[in-house]
Amino acid sequence: MSKNIHIKKNDVVMVVTGEDKGKKGKVLSVDPDKRRVVVEGVNMATKHKKPRRQGDIGGIIHQEAAVSATNVMHVCDKCQRPTRIGYTVLGDGSKVRVCKKCGENFDK
């Protein structure tokens, strides 16, 4: 199976399926081996943190958990809609990601 993934860190994505459907957020991290992404404000999990050192505080923390990369779509900056990603080869031979709806270049 290919390890390539269409979403990169700092992309703005929208969740298209699941409990958080319709939410937008910035990608905080990408795990291409597991094909999962962590999106800001999406799939919040509760974690119980124990104080490890003197002076640390424990308690209940809410943090983002990973979601499948197939459940999110890239949001285009130009048309402000979730879109599929296409690839185009530029004149200098570099391959860039583009919006399938308006042709906007994502890799500036």
pLDDT digits (tens), the chain, 108 positions: 556 888 999 999 999 999 999 999 999 999 999 999 999 999 999 999 999 999 999 999 999 999 999 999 999 999 999 999 999 999 999 999 999 999 899 887
Regarding whether 21 and 68 lie in a shared domain, the answer is yes
Verify that 14 and 48 share a domain, yes or no.
yes
Question: What is the arrangement of strands in the sheet containing 67-68, beginning at the earlier edge strand?
Answer: 67-68, 36-39, 24-31, 12-15, 72-75, 82-83
Count Cα neighbours of 13 within 13 Å in the Cβ-side half-sphere.
Answer: 32
Residue 92's domain comprises 83-108
Q: Say yes or no: 45 and 89 in one domain.
A: no
Q: For the whole model, what pTM was predicted?
A: 0.83
pLDDT at 8: 93
Residues 21 and 69 in one domain: yes
We report the CATH number of the domain holding residue 44 as 2.30.30.30
Lookup: tokens for 40: 């800001």
Q: How far apart are CA 35 and CA 71, in angstroms?
A: 10
Q: How many domains does the chain have?
A: 2
Look at residue 2 in the predicted model and tell me its pLDDT.
59
Q: Are residues 15 and 68 in the same domain?
A: yes
Q: Are strands 44-49 and 59-64 parallel, antiparallel or unpaired?
A: antiparallel
